[in-house]
Chains A and B, each alone.
Chain A
Amino acid sequence: MFPANFGYVAARSVDEALELLAQHGEDAKLLAGGHSLIPAMKLRLASPRTLIDLGTVQGLRGVRVDGDALAIGALTVHADIAASDLVRQRIPALAAAAGVIGDVQVRNRGTIGGSCAHADPAADFPVVLTALNASFAVVSPSGKRTISVDDFFVDFYTTALGQNEILTEIRVPLPPSDAGTAYHKLANPASGYVVVSSGALVRRDGSGKSIDARVALGGLGGKPFRAAGTETALRGKSLTLESIVDASAKAAEGSDPDDDIYASADYKRHIATVLTQRALAQASGFKVETSHPQNQR
């Protein structure tokens, strides 16, 4: 498997990358870790004329606290997010999602920015970032802007990023101390990609009642699906296993997943409920057991 020929430029800075992007236009693709793009190029599903490598740009890596958010450089690899004490302590769902992407080697190389820009509907980050209400810092020759997660992911492999824009940072609001987060996934046993996944952010008041919850589901469509039915059902409720089960039953309401060769739409809708139960329960402080069945991965 060999990609078709292409030209290669290593950018030294974001500004230079922007210039190169403007210069090469639609025929150019930005290269981060390459773990979405290179496989597509090997199968010749993608054949850009020019690759602009961001891997050589300094300053786009790492996780830091910036005000009331975690700021994650777009080139931060999954493994570093999964292993970050900061992420694990403050936003466990994000660490959990980063830790179940692909495999060890993929997590050592794939980047959060690359994954988000690629917007694979079976990817993990878009789902968890939707649940966490993240935003995306973007630069272009005309300046900077911030895109909210609900606007960023548009459809299958489509984001709100313009052709001349570069994603530089993902900002994830730090949940307040009374909040909980969790991410649960049912992976395709072949690819390891999401069949269905559920990310949850639950805020509760002093009495243990839910103030609000954000629940996002993967695998139900071209972009992360907000489980509005569940979110509404949980609002103001005491966070008990019963209320969680009731609310989770509405998880897939309004979604329209496709059958695929592995799983039916019915199964996906049902698993959305199961995983949402688990995610909400864990985010609410209940212990959730996971196992390693032989017909899963």
Chain B
Amino acid sequence: MTTQHAPAGLIGASVLRVEDPVLATGRGCYVDDVQLPGAVYLALSRSPYPHAKITSINTEAARKMPGVELVLTGADIDINVPSPVMIPGQKIPPHPALARGAVHAVGAPVAAVVAQTRAQAVDAANAIEVEYDPLPAVVNGENAVEPGAPIAREELDTNICYRAVNKGGDVDKAFAEADHIVKMHIASPRQVAMAIEPRAAAAKPEPNGDLTVWLSTQSPHRVRADLATALKFPEHRIRVIAPDVGGGFGSKGPLYREYTLASYCALKLRRPVKWTATRSDDFLTVIQGRDQAMTSELALKRDGTMLGLKVRVVANLGAYLCSNTAGPPQRMMAMAPGCYQIRNVFVEVLAVFTNTVSTGPYRGAGRPESVLNIERLVDKAARDLGIDRLEIRRKNFIRPEQFPYKTATGVEYDSGEYERALDEAIKLSDYDRLIRERDAARKRGELAGVGVSTFVEPSGGAGFESGTVRVERTGEITVLTGSSSHGQGHETMFAQVVADKMRVGMEHVAIRHGDTMAVQQGVGTFGSRSAVMGGGALALAIEKVSDKARRIAAHLMEASLEDIVPADGGFAVAGVPEKRATWRQIAGAAYGRLPKGMDPGLQETVFFDPKREAWGFGAHVALVKIDRDTGETKIEKLVLVDDCGVIINPMIVEGQIHGGVAQGLGEAFLEQMQYGEDGEVLTGTLVNYAVPHATSMPTLTLGETVTPNPFNPMGVKGVGEAGTNGAPPCIANAVMDALAPLGIDHIDMPYTAPKLWAAVQAAERGKK
């Protein structure tokens, strides 16, 4: 089923992006750029407390402030952000747009103000007087499951939102038969997505009573449905537009309270209402990532054969459930065995409420936690058993001939050649030389370490994706995709696919997305799914359109169907290349005089659901050196080999890897959302939450292997999250390798300089 293309084709070419001339000249249109005559502005009064009863709200002063049009509190509206039941028995406490009676996280909106200018709205929001009666707060997930812990959501009698188990094989037997058991506690730091464009909404009531809402979202159709549910307003009368979207990384997937409030206020005031988050707003109320703590055991034979895996995950969900908050821990579970044959697995998740910002998908969304867990265990196992880290991996890899491979956790991997990716990374990194360099550095008394990670990267999923291919009357091609872009280059990449397969120039293809009025139901862009799912839908739609076009062409050229072959710009008669039907001629017939028995039109829509995910994979290798005196850590070499099946646009794929790796290095070295013991936010701005700068980036060496996906019409797999999956455990293993001579077993990321210095100091003191 895999389509292989000649190098001359557009699929596989680094085509420059059609998006760029607009974006690079400042003519892009992000939500806050949308200018709506008569617009008024929404601002919010937010809780400064992580957990408190609201004893009174006084809006008198605010109502009298200049320019104020509307003031709302939780008493005035009944709007809740909906959250689906993902796990049977899951607890779903209310997620009100404006707090009713209590607040459960710093930043929870308590009152809303609409005023004529942005500044007036902020002035009035600041004038709202709220009295709180603070309640005990819990911020750490593992603390939240301890007996006697404060209850984050007082509506419940527990902090546990759900418990889920994924198991296969006979774990007890495996552990009983094991020669060695590796035990570790590994926590992934809570991270902020930090899309550079803060969230924004612009809501416009239409004269006929409909509602148009521009949202900075990754998922316009899903958000529209949730918005309709929240507002109790008919979905088909809401138009959601995701214009240019300035990054998302998962964080712009769900519906947010502020979106419902802007929409509600617009309908109530019958005026356009705009809301644009400040960075501080986003730090307090955008879903954050990771924050899963794993207590894990890996059972092995003396020769390194992996027998069984037990993992208990405590996943911190934060205070409120967004539509996708409950998701990442399940992803963590499903891929727990990674790229290894471990037939006996037991993974338990305790997903808990705390008085913190909601978590949810952030680039990787459970994958990085899972890879970190297994890759740290494997490295420690190798060390304990005295087996080379490459050898133990090779010994346990799922082998190419075993695919499709069903794991003990019940998912089926499509295809893979894990050892080939590792070999490629070994070759590209000149691994033996890295080891020699490390050993020489150690001889000089330096702290140097080499790290390896091998991993799977599931992509696609989350149901279906849709694609429509329409040949217009003049033969130009309009494509509607449910996969709406926020930087991934869909308008280029999808156009390459369509132009390649329909044999037209890319300038004849327009990709439309991000508008629920233009595009059929769709899902969106997240989970590395666009090329796999959106591309898959388009590939099938192209086939259907082409089939029909071929039949029309046969009619137009009075040739038999078997003789009609694709040709540049349309179709030709085999062996008579000068006899052609162009797309324009075919469309003319499709919308005009058709052969008998054919339906008019030249448009096909496909809802694509392969009922399985696509499993990319890779191998990363790093050499790091730690300055004993300062804890400063330098990456001397970082090699990233990723396999995402057939590549549509190598330039875009490389860009995805670069970006993912940067975020992965942020996780490894810099980033952690921190709370004080009482729940106060310690890292609520970019002044204290560090993200990578240009100067933070080392030289990256990229490599690839190509293992086509047999279950995808184009052979593709996703790649968007490969960098965040593979790089952090690779760095973790390298840093721990560097510290191993000091007897240090494990340290959780991020590896900040002060943290590493303190660990080195403690270890050296211990030795004396």
A and B pair up? yes
Besides the contacts A296-B696, A296-B753, what 13 more A-B pairs have beta carbons closer than 8 Å?
A: A186-B753, A188-B690, A190-B689, A262-B688, A266-B761, A267-B758, A293-B634, A294-B634, A294-B635, A294-B698, A295-B632, A295-B751, A295-B753
Chain B residues near A266 (CB-CB < 8 A)? 758, 761
Are A1 and B633 in contact (CB-based, < 8 A)? no
Measured between alpha carbons, how far is A296 from B757 in the docked complex, in Å? Answer: 13
Are B280 and A1 in contact (CB-based, < 8 A)? yes
Measured between alpha carbons, how far is A16 from B347 in the docked complex, in Å? Answer: 73
Are B750 and A295 in contact (CB-based, < 8 A)? yes
Please tell me if B122 contacts chain A, counting CB pairs below 8 Å. Answer: yes
Please tell me if B229 contacts chain A, counting CB pairs below 8 Å. Answer: no
Measured between alpha carbons, how far is A267 from B754 in the docked complex, in Å? Answer: 6
Are B634 and A264 in contact (CB-based, < 8 A)? no
Please tell me if A12 contacts chain B, counting CB pairs below 8 Å. Answer: no
Chain B residues near A207 (CB-CB < 8 A)? none
Which residues of B come within 8 Å of A, CB atoms? 118-119, 122-123, 126, 278, 280, 627, 629-635, 665, 668-670, 674, 682-683, 686-691, 693, 695-698, 750-754, 756-758, 761
Chain A residues near B761 (CB-CB < 8 A)? 266
Measured between alpha carbons, how far is A274 from B753 in the docked complex, in Å? Answer: 13
Which residues of A come within 8 Å of B, CB atoms? 1-2, 4-5, 43-44, 186, 188-191, 193, 261-264, 266-267, 270-271, 274, 291-297
CB distance from A265 to the nearest CB of B (A): 11
Cross-chain pairs A/B with CB under 8 angstroms, 16 sampled: A1-B122, A188-B688, A188-B690, A189-B690, A190-B670, A190-B687, A191-B688, A261-B674, A267-B631, A274-B630, A294-B635, A294-B696, A295-B633, A295-B750, A296-B632, A296-B753
Determine the residue in chain B with the shortest Cβ distance to A1: B278
Determine the residue in chain B with the shortest Cβ distance to A271: B630
CB distance from A36 to the nearest CB of B (A): 12
Are B119 and A189 in contact (CB-based, < 8 A)? no
Candidate in A193, A262, A295 with the most chain B CB atoms within 10 angstroms? A295
Are B688 and A190 in contact (CB-based, < 8 A)? yes
Measured between alpha carbons, how far is A271 from B278 in the docked complex, in Å? Answer: 35
Chain A residues near B752 (CB-CB < 8 A)? 189, 262, 295
Are B118 and A294 in contact (CB-based, < 8 A)? no
Are B689 and A293 in contact (CB-based, < 8 A)? no
Are B670 and A264 in contact (CB-based, < 8 A)? no
Measured between alpha carbons, how far is A201 from B119 in the docked complex, in Å? Answer: 48
Are A297 and B688 in contact (CB-based, < 8 A)? no
CB distance from A234 to the nearest CB of B (A): 20
Are A295 and B687 in contact (CB-based, < 8 A)? no
Given contact pairs A294-B698, A297-B695, A267 touches B757 in the complex (Cβ within 8 A): yes
- Checking B123, B682, B690 against A5 with a beta-carbon cut-off of 8 angstroms, the contacting residue is B123
Are A2 and B119 in contact (CB-based, < 8 A)? yes
Chain B residues near A274 (CB-CB < 8 A)? 629-630
Chain B residues near A296 (CB-CB < 8 A)? 632, 696, 753
Are B123 and A4 in contact (CB-based, < 8 A)? yes
Are B634 and A44 in contact (CB-based, < 8 A)? no
Measured between alpha carbons, how far is A188 from B686 in the docked complex, in Å? Answer: 11
Given contact pairs A44-B126, A270-B757, A295 touches B670 in the complex (Cβ within 8 A): yes
Measured between alpha carbons, how far is A42 from B744 in the docked complex, in Å? Answer: 45
Chain A residues near B631 (CB-CB < 8 A)? 267, 295
CB distance from B413 to the nearest CB of A (A): 32
Determine the residue in chain A with the shortest Cβ distance to B665: A294
- Checking A43, A262, A292 against B754 with a beta-carbon cut-off of 8 angstroms, the contacting residue is A262
CB distance from A188 to the nearest CB of B (A): 8
Measured between alpha carbons, how far is A263 from B278 in the docked complex, in Å? Answer: 27
Are B122 and A2 in contact (CB-based, < 8 A)? yes
Are B754 and A263 in contact (CB-based, < 8 A)? yes
- Checking A43, A291, A297 against B634 with a beta-carbon cut-off of 8 angstroms, the contacting residue is A291
Given contact pairs A294-B669, A297-B695, A191 touches B687 in the complex (Cβ within 8 A): yes
Determine the residue in chain A with the shortest Cβ distance to B634: A293
Determine the residue in chain B with the shortest Cβ distance to A273: B629
- Checking B119, B633, B682, B686 against A261 with a beta-carbon cut-off of 8 angstroms, the contacting residue is B682
Chain A residues near B126 (CB-CB < 8 A)? 4, 44
Measured between alpha carbons, how far is A63 from B674 in the docked complex, in Å? Answer: 43
Chain B residues near A186 (CB-CB < 8 A)? 630, 753
Measured between alpha carbons, how far is A274 from B627 in the docked complex, in Å? Answer: 11
Determine the residue in chain A with the shortest Cβ distance to B691: A190
Chain A residues near B691 (CB-CB < 8 A)? 190
Measured between alpha carbons, how far is A17 from B280 in the docked complex, in Å? Answer: 35
Chain A residues near B689 (CB-CB < 8 A)? 190
Measured between alpha carbons, how far is A186 from B698 in the docked complex, in Å? Answer: 19
Measured between alpha carbons, how far is A242 from B752 in the docked complex, in Å? Answer: 29
Are B118 and A2 in contact (CB-based, < 8 A)? yes
Determine the residue in chain A with the shortest Cβ distance to B672: A261
Measured between alpha carbons, how far is A270 from B280 in the docked complex, in Å? Answer: 33
Measured between alpha carbons, how far is A296 from B627 in the docked complex, in Å? Answer: 12
Measured between alpha carbons, how far is A296 from B634 in the docked complex, in Å? Answer: 9
- Checking B633, B682, B693 against A293 with a beta-carbon cut-off of 8 angstroms, the contacting residue is B633
CB distance from B492 to the nearest CB of A (A): 31
CB distance from B668 to the nearest CB of A (A): 8
Measured between alpha carbons, how far is A271 from B757 in the docked complex, in Å? Answer: 10
Measured between alpha carbons, how far is A62 from B634 in the docked complex, in Å? Answer: 39
Kindly list the 9 A-B residue pairs having the minimum CB-CB distance in the complex, ordered from nearest.
Answer: A190-B690, A293-B632, A295-B669, A2-B119, A189-B690, A263-B754, A267-B754, A191-B687, A293-B634
CB distance from B623 to the nearest CB of A (A): 12
Are B686 and A297 in contact (CB-based, < 8 A)? no
Measured between alpha carbons, how far is A122 from B690 in the docked complex, in Å? Answer: 16
Chain B residues near A44 (CB-CB < 8 A)? 126
Determine the residue in chain A with the shortest Cβ distance to B688: A190
CB distance from B12 to the nearest CB of A (A): 33
Measured between alpha carbons, how far is A292 from B753 in the docked complex, in Å? Answer: 12
Are B758 and A264 in contact (CB-based, < 8 A)? yes
Measured between alpha carbons, how far is A134 from B669 in the docked complex, in Å? Answer: 38
Determine the residue in chain A with the shortest Cβ distance to B120: A2
Measured between alpha carbons, how far is A45 from B263 in the docked complex, in Å? Answer: 31
Are B634 and A292 in contact (CB-based, < 8 A)? yes
Are B670 and A189 in contact (CB-based, < 8 A)? yes
- Checking A1, A5, A190, A291 against B632 with a beta-carbon cut-off of 8 angstroms, the contacting residue is A291
CB distance from B107 to the nearest CB of A (A): 15
CB distance from A100 to the nearest CB of B (A): 11
Measured between alpha carbons, how far is A44 from B127 in the docked complex, in Å? Answer: 13
Chain B residues near A191 (CB-CB < 8 A)? 686-688
